[in-house]
Amino acid sequence: MTSNPQIDCFANGFLSDPSLPYEERIGLGLVEMAKYTDISFKDYILPTAEWMPSDSAVGFMHASGIKVMADRYDALIEKYPEEAEALEAHREEMCSYLNYDFHYAGTDVGARLSSAKAGWGGGWGGHANPDFGKIVNVGTDGIRAEIERYRALNPGKDAFYNGCRYAMDSLDILGDRFLSLARQMAETCENEADRKRYEDAARAFEVIPRRPAYDFTSAVHAFWLVFAVDAFDSPGRLDQMLRRCYEATDDREEIHDMLSRLWDAFHETRTWHVTLGGTDENWNDMCFGLTLDMLKITEEKGYNTPNLSVRTHKGTPEEIWRAAADCLAAGTALPTLYNDHVVCAALEKIGIPPHDSHEYCMNGCNQIDIFGKSHMGLEDGEVCLAKCVEFALFNGCDPMCPVCDRYSVNSGDARRFKTFEEFMRAVKRQISYVVYGMTQNSNASQHAKSYSGHNPLRSCLTEGCFEKGVDYRDGGPLYNHGQILAEGIADAGDSVYAVKKLIYDEKKYTMDLLLDALLADFEGYEDLYRDFSSCAKFGNDIEEVDEITAELTNYFLRELKRHRTYRGGIFTGGCSPEARIADYGKRIGALPNGKRRGTPMLADSICATPGNDMAGPTAAVKSALHYDQEEACSGFIFQIKFEKKAFCTEKGKESFIALVKSYFAGGGQQVTTTVVSPEDLRRAKEDPEGYESLKVRIGGYSGYFTEFDPELQDNIIARTEHMM
């Protein structure tokens, strides 16, 4: 340990007693870090503590655990030569934890499939939805009482409970420091409005975080304190956690000011996902004044962050629907809309009872968690269905490999298949094998995190952990399911349909000829290319192609449920491709749907491959309703783009709301919307200056168009713009 406790403070606490269990040592590190880490109120005047203290080489991120920046030790030794011996000892000890969460023993099968870009599994910290409202509404003293109550029921778990107590102590230490800082800033601040804000903060920290917040200002400060310590992930059901204090506050100016500052803070820190509205287990609507206020502040600010979702149902108030449409018309590409009737049913199918299924929220892009009760929405991996079709065509070999080496399972020589059913079985066998590989990789990663990533703060804020005396990352939460996402859905369905139609039904071409054409990237096979590329495509309400696409996707979703997570749940699926989609496209050869070798264009949602849905939004909706969307327990993105001049009218907004309601009534889970002018997109790609604020939806989040790679920009431009 260093003689100056401020230097490398987390490491000082963590290394103070090596005989203690790991989770208790993390708690001690958090306490020391809270004493000395840099704190500020930032420009938005909300309490922010840094996860990496300035005079340290070690910090702690609750999303991923201990973080060591080994190169910072050289700078610390140069700055504090008298501490050189202690710092060298710290470096040697702590470097064994260097980014430990990201190093795990993946499986040979999973690694080989990943190298062929068939998917990925595990290997990162993931997102989370702990209940930050416990700090707002119970306070650290209330949580300490919980700790002691459950400690008495679980003898032998003292290390776990001690680590949790230390996590609460660290919040109190920070609260005391923010109280002093707020008083100091109030004394020296010359701006009258800001001085009042600092005075309000000081008043709040006389109470929080030890005791519950008492008004909206103190509630937002309590929330932001713990949210910032947790490293700015996903707030979850923010309107519900702040409801008590919102309803105790009459001052509308105060509420607007706090929301304005909170949204500035969200944007500055690239906060992930806020969820609004929804229902309780008896289908009572949970929207109220704050739900509407948060939609209005989203429209007012025009930011692309945080990701914002509104949970809807048959009884959602019309003013909420209208406010959501107004936000979209403003060009925010927010909010996404979710259907409680489908999502809750999907969660109940995997054993989550209604009183908890109705607590669902989104994190990250659009993964689904049970607010404050689960560790299941961290995005455990992906499977590229289009690559599975390619594997089936080439018997597990990868034509993108120079020697067409085998990367996947032997599913039979496609040239010898006599019937379409044989070919479909081969495709499903490839899907099953890639699912197996990605779930195995994910479980290897989960295993590593269960002993390397103890997280006492999230354990305090997630139901089940205290009751079991088990850490958040080791199966402590009530629900520990996994989520593997699908890529290239429509490309897979379109390709399989084209094979069925032209080879097995019409017998116009042989499989031998098709495979030769694919290996040649269709060069010299112009007639074959014309026929295959012009086959019917998913997204146009054409029954047979829609049914094939749905069959493959539903098979993928159900196949996942055969595999259990290391954390103690089952794997489920969804679709949230985001910016990775172009990379998958580049690692796939020519496909029977007309895709050329290595081109980045690939389906970026459950909808058509961009540009292939030519029959209008109603047809796109009807195609998507062929999926069994109650099988998807992660976000199942229906992504649609509307032409701005048509959407941004009273009639356009009304038509959009009617379309979404119709989709949801038919069994749709989610709608993600971009409202943009196609001319603006094309101009922004050619000459980005002046279009820096142009926002679009990509997979599970809203982003600035000019910041995307050109290949992804082409994908976005190619999406069909629908008129209302």
> Last residue of some domain: 76, 92, 116?
116
Q: Cα separations (Å) of 523 from 124, 331, 588, 724?
A: 41, 42, 17, 40
Q: Count Cβ atoms within 10 A of the Cβ of residue 652 and give its class: 0-12 exposed, 13-18 middle, 19 or more buried.
A: buried
Q: pLDDT of 285-301, one tens digit each? A: 999 999 999 999 999 99
pLDDT value for 99: 46
pLDDT value for 451: 74
pLDDT value for 314: 97
Would you say 252 and 289 are in contact if contact means Cβ atoms under 8 Å apart? Answer: no
Q: Which residue has the higher pLDDT, 720 or 400?
A: 400
Q: Mark whether 122 and 25 lie in a shared domain.
A: no
Would you say 645 and 680 are in contact if contact means Cβ atoms under 8 Å apart? Answer: no
Average pLDDT over residues 304-314: 95
Average pLDDT over residues 109-126: 88
pLDDT value for 103: 45
* pLDDT above 70: residue 230: yes
Task: Report yes or no on 197 lying in a domain.
Answer: no
Residues in the chain: 724
pLDDT value for 699: 60
Q: pLDDT of 37-65, one tens digit each? A: 999 999 999 999 999 999 999 998 866 78
Gap between the Cα atoms of 85 and 91, Å rounded: 10
pLDDT value for 486: 96
Helix locations, 70-209, DSSP H: 72-79, 84-94, 108-115, 133-137, 139-153, 158-188, 192-205
Gap between the Cα atoms of 652 and 658, Å rounded: 10
Q: pLDDT of 313-351, one tens digit each? A: 999 999 999 999 999 999 888 999 999 999 999 999 999
pLDDT value for 594: 97
Query: 417 φ, ψ to 5°?
Result: -65, 130
User: Tokens at residue 62, please?
Assistant: 């609750």
Place of tokens 């299941």: 376
Strand partners, 40: 48
Task: Report yes or no on 182 lying in a domain.
Answer: no
Q: Mark whether 121 and 107 lie in a shared domain.
A: no
Q: Mark whether 51 and 122 lie in a shared domain.
A: no
Q: pLDDT of 524-564, one tens digit each? A: 999 999 999 999 999 999 999 999 999 999 999 999 999 99
Segment among 4-13, 120-129, 177-186, 438-447 with least mean pLDDT: 120-129
Q: Give Cα 501 distance to the centre of its chain.
A: 38
pLDDT value for 101: 44
Q: Mark whether 492 and 519 lie in a shared domain.
A: yes
Would you say 674 and 680 are in contact if contact means Cβ atoms under 8 Å apart? Answer: no
- Place 17 in a pLDDT band, splitting at 50, 70 and 90: very high
pLDDT value for 698: 62
Amino acid (1-letter code) at residue 708: F
Average pLDDT over residues 349-373: 95
Average pLDDT over residues 671-688: 78
Task: Report yes or no on 527 lying in a domain.
Answer: yes
Q: Mark whether 520 and 554 lie in a shared domain.
A: yes
pLDDT value for 100: 46
pLDDT value for 715: 65
Which residues 6+ apart lie within 8 Å of 656 measured at CB?
Answer: 325, 328, 642, 647, 673, 724
Q: Mark whether 64 and 123 lie in a shared domain.
A: no
Helix (H, G, I), strand (E, B) or coil at 309: strand
Q: Mark whether 97 and 123 lie in a shared domain.
A: no
> Last residue of some domain: 67, 86, 116?
116
Helix (H) or strand (E) holding 521: none
Would you say 70 and 57 are in contact if contact means Cβ atoms under 8 Å apart? Answer: yes
Would you say 378 and 483 are in contact if contact means Cβ atoms under 8 Å apart? Answer: yes
Q: pLDDT of 251-274, one tens digit each? A: 999 999 999 999 999 999 999 999
Q: Tell me which residue of 284, 296, 212 sits closest to 255, measured CA to CA.
A: 296
Q: Cα separations (Å) of 606 from 199, 210, 312, 625?
A: 50, 46, 20, 10
Could you give the percent of the chain with pLDDT greater than 70? 94
* pLDDT above 60: residue 417: yes
Q: pLDDT of 549-602, one tens digit each? A: 999 999 999 999 999 999 999 999 999 866 688 899 999 999 999 999 999 989
Could you give the percent of the chain with pLDDT greater than 90? 79
pLDDT value for 67: 87
- Place 102 in a pLDDT band, splitting at 50, 70 and 90: very low
Strand partners, 121: 381
Segment among 10-14, 353-357, 440-444 with least mean pLDDT: 440-444
Helices and strands: H and E segment counts in the chain: 31, 19
Task: Report yes or no on 42 lying in a domain.
Answer: yes
Q: Mark whether 523 and 555 lie in a shared domain.
A: yes
pLDDT value for 176: 98
Tally of CB atoms within 10 A around 536: 16
Q: Mark whether 497 and 559 lie in a shared domain.
A: yes
Q: Mark whether 527 and 570 lie in a shared domain.
A: yes
Strand partners, 671: 337
Q: Mark whether 54 and 122 lie in a shared domain.
A: no
Helix (H) or strand (E) holding 711: helix 710-718
Average pLDDT over residues 717-723: 57
Q: Tell me which residue of 283, 204, 291, 197 sits closest to 241, measured CA to CA.
A: 291
Average pLDDT over residues 87-91: 95
Q: Mark whether 468 and 523 lie in a shared domain.
A: yes
Q: Which residue has the higher pLDDT, 688 or 116?
A: 116
Q: pLDDT of 442-496, one tens digit each? A: 998 888 888 777 899 999 999 999 999 999 999 999 999 999 999 999 999 999 9
Which residues 6+ apart lie within 8 Å of 539 measured at CB?
Answer: 490, 607, 608, 609, 612, 613, 615, 619, 620, 623, 624
Gap between the Cα atoms of 311 and 359, Å rounded: 11
Average pLDDT over residues 221-233: 94
Helix (H, G, I), strand (E, B) or coil at 32: helix
User: Tokens at residue 438, please?
Assistant: 């990605």
Amino acid (1-letter code) at residue 47: P
- Place 701 in a pLDDT band, splitting at 50, 70 and 90: low
Tally of CB atoms within 10 A around 667: 17
Mean of the per-residue pLDDT values for the chain? 92
Q: pLDDT of 386-410, one tens digit each? A: 999 999 999 999 999 887 788 999 9
Task: Report yes or no on 223 lying in a domain.
Answer: no
Amino acid (1-letter code) at residue 391: F
Q: pLDDT of 652-679, one tens digit each? A: 999 999 999 999 999 999 999 988 777 7
Task: Report yes or no on 226 lying in a domain.
Answer: no
Q: How many domains does the chain contain in total?
A: 2
* pLDDT above 70: residue 98: no
> Last residue of some domain: 94, 116, 138?
116
Task: Report yes or no on 96 lying in a domain.
Answer: yes
Domain that holds residue 502: 117-127+379-436+456-574+585-604
Task: Report yes or no on 396 lying in a domain.
Answer: yes
Helix (H, G, I), strand (E, B) or coil at 124: coil
* pLDDT above 90: residue 137: yes
